[in-house]
Structure 1
Amino acid sequence: MVAALLSTGNYLLHFDQINEMYLHSKVMPTEPDHIRFSLLVTLSVASGVCLLAHRSVVGRGAVILWGSVLYLAFYQHLLAVRSGLVTLYVVGIVGLLWLVFRTRQYQQALVLAAALVLIPAVSYSVFPTLQNKSANTREDVGRVDNTSSANNYSLVGRVYSYKVALEVVKDNPWVGVGRADIEPEMAVRYQRDYPNIRPEAYIQPHNQFLFSAVAFGLIGLVLFIIGFYYAGVSVWPTYAPLLLAQYLIVTLSFLVEYTLETQIGLGYALFFILLALEGQKVAPGPEGEWRPV
């Protein structure tokens, strides 16, 4: 919440410059990088909703928490990072389905459904950043068929990184090429298949699953999936909303980023998963110790 307020203040101080950045595939500065920060915002909203739903905070604190959750939901649209917006709405839709089919809390489901419709509608009409990001995304998508556009447009570059990565996997299906050789192996195929793309625009596959398949082959990919998701599956059928929320957020980020290949991405993904798993341990007594989740 504090970081979002500081970011908003910086945006208001540099209103025109930052709005212009969004037309050029850039976003307002945040710490950490804008993608991981947007994921943290989604997790913060989910955490606040869980605290409110379980009445863990009451009185004036609940009013402040309601305000914080609403502010962060709108801030996610002001930040206008695609990964953050997708995770926010996927988590929201899963929560809606939970309320309708599992707990039968139709009134709360109606409130959540209204929020999922009204917040983006209001945000799009108010925030120039969201409008400009939408225009930039449409322009990116419209240039996918033009190979040379990968030199200047981030979405186009990602599409071609996927195509090149699939060629590498096709040539090395079982054990991959090794983590250290991803860049040179992809460069060879970039030069061969897409000569219009400049070497400085070569990027590694922005997809954690595809990245793992290139590095370690299909065998390594299967081992990675089992290793990463086993801990979350093992607590089933325990009700663990924050664990589910974090797994959803991280999995969605895997589809568009090699999240675990950076320190901040690895730290973000594992810290909150491990924190949620800690809360699933059996306490030694009825009130033996405090559990974070």
Structure 2
Amino acid sequence: MVTTRFAAAAKLYRQGRLSQYLLLLACLAGVTGLLASRALIALSPLVGVAAALTNPDLRRQWARYKKLRTVWFPALLYGFWWVSAVYTSDWTVWRHEVYRQLPLLGVPLAFGLSVPLSARQRQWVAGGFLGGTALVALGTIARYAQQHTFTNDTFGLGPSLPSITGIFHIHFSLMLALAALVGGVFLYTRKSAPDFQRLLAAGAVLICVGALHILAYRTGLLVFYAILCIDTLVVLLFRRRWVLGLGLLLLLLLGPPAAYHTLPAVRNRVAATLFDIEQFTLHHDINNYSLSKRLAAWHTALALVRQQPWVGVAPADVRSAMMAQYAQHSFGLLPANRVMIHNQYLHQLVGGGVLGLSLWLLVLFGPLLQPGRWQNAYVYHFLLLHAVAILADSLLELQISFNLFVFCYGFLLVAAERRWLTDSLAESYMLESS
């Protein structure tokens, strides 16, 4: 029995199916982990690395892997943490972050070296994320309906309802926006897909967009309408798809007013947001106002940038530097209310200066400098979503949003560049043969 199982495993290994199945398992575990189980998030990259190591064509794939720019960009960002050891002072945080950010290396390694997923398997993963997010959204809407009076009242104080699986509202709102965009791109690009798939995708998109509005998630709505605005401009000005473009423009113009006049949560959130910002501009007590505290954090961070503009205070020292700067100018905030930066661009600038920010921009926008490699609407929407979202929060500093970014980066960008490189090499070989 043992010999038979070993022979079967050896056959799967030689065929490359073991590596492919492990990568599929890692992807499904990653999606499940993002939506429901933090433990699976930690295990997913390990399974992905195992998938890479079990590729029977590992030696040749390694030579190609080194040509992938999308694996070098995050590697350089990770390497900066090691360089910062020269001038960091908070060694406890430094050691923790060097370990926590290992997926910047491991996830691109998995997608760059494993036997690639088939088109159908990739659809399973994307469909699992879209459908799973929609189901969690439905459950969260149901919880909101049970306590909507209390929830609407709390919107005046700032907090939002987390998902039923315990995902913090900012991260969940990004998942909703990303799922809606993924489903929208699928409906636009896969018009030949079976009707039941398109119907399910359309239903999931409606649920995710509806949840963003019903639950009044500010960050998710900011991202969704910013990307919708960009899509509208692209469709009208460059694609010249007038019917689709006008439809998107109509949604862009009517969606926010309709939500404001029909959903109490949206009205309360808008009123609370304006009142919140007013407290900061009028120099009132801002201890109980989230946006005002963020504005104070941005001012505090900019003061640190002026002191250390080129290499920053060291990535591991950002919190201690912020608290020290608050001690000099507190904006009237009690120690418990002195929040961190809540802007990834500014966070990178404080921790790593111009050098650290440049490396982050290389990760985020570097792929867009190679347009020939990215004939892929999913890639563009993913990058634009995060480019907008990190204006409102330091997403790389929180584990679930960090893993969301790294997983999608590997699944979309690394895999796409690898397919492009494989096709280019095959085309070159055919030309040489002829």
TM over 0.5: yes
Q: Which residue of 2 aligns with 1:282?
A: 420
Cα distance in 1 for partners of 2:153, 2:331 equals: 31
Structure 2, unaligned runs of 5 or more = 1-133, 424-434
Query: How far apart are the structure 1 equivalents of 2:364 and 2:255?
Result: 33
| Residue 93 (str. 1) matches residue 226 (str. 2) | no
Is 1:103 paired with 2:239? Answer: yes
Q: Is the 8 A contact 1:149 1:157 kept in 2?
A: no
Which of 144, 156, 172 is the equivalent residue of 1:11? 144
Q: Which moved more, 1:238-247 or 1:227-236?
A: 227-236
Contact kept? 1:149, 1:156, Cα under 8 Å: no
- Whether 1:156 and 2:292 are equivalent positions in the alignment is yes
2:178 is matched with which residue? 43
Match of 2:169 in 1: 34
1:99-131 CA distances to partner (integer Å, 9 max, x unpaired)?
A: 112221101111222222333233222222111
TM-score by length of 1: 0.90
More helix per residue: 1 or 2?
Answer: 2
Distance 1:13 1:170 in 2: 49
% same residue? 26
Whole-angstrom distance in 1 between the partners of 2:370 and 2:271: 43
- Matched AA of 1:19: N
Which AA in structure 2 matches 1:282?
W
1:263-278 equivalent positions in 2, closer than 5 A? 263-277=399-413, 278=415
Amino acid at match of 1:135: A
- Which stretch shows the higher mean deviation, 54-63 or 81-90? 54-63
2:383 & 2:331 partners in 1: Cα distance? Answer: 38
Mapped partners of 1:163, 1:198: distance in 2: 16
Bigger mean CA deviation after superposition, 192-201 or 54-63: 54-63
> Is 1:256 aligned to residue 392 of structure 2?
yes
| Conserved? CA contact 1:150–1:201, under 8 Å | no
**2:118 pairs with 1:118:** no
Aligned residue runs from structure 1 range 169-248, under 5 A = 169-194=305-330, 196-236=332-372, 238-248=374-384
Residues in 2 aligned to 1:135 and 1:9: alpha-carbon distance in whole angstroms: 24
Does the 8 A contact of 2:162 with 2:172 survive in 1? Answer: no
- Structure 1 residue identity aligned to 2:383: Y
Aligned equivalents of 2:204 and 2:253: distance in 1? 19
The structure 1 segments of at least 4 consecutive aligned residues displaced by more than 4 Å after TM superposition are none
SS of aligned partner of 1:177:
coil
Q: Mean Cα displacement is larger for which, 153-162 or 91-100?
A: 91-100
Distance in 1 (CA, whole Å) between partners of 2:408 and 2:142 is 28
Q: What's the offset of the Cα at 1:175?
A: 1.6
Query: 1 CA distance for matches of 2:319 and 2:422?
Result: 50
Where structure 1 has 5 or more consecutive residues not aligned to the other structure, the ranges are: 286-293
2:197 alignment partner in structure 1 = 61
- Cα 1:49–1:228 change in 2 (3 A) is closer
The structural deviation recorded for 1:15 is: 1.7
Q: Which residue of 2 aligns with 1:290?
A: none
- Is the alpha carbon distance of 1:13 and 1:225 closer, same or farther for their aligned partners in structure 2, counting shifts above 3 Å? same
Query: RMSD between aligned alpha carbons?
Result: 2.1
Out of 193-202 and 206-215, give the one that drifted further.
Answer: 193-202
1:223 maps to amino acid = L
TM-score (normalised: structure 2):
0.62
> Which residue type is aligned with residue 279 of structure 1?
A
**Counterpart code for 2:346:** L
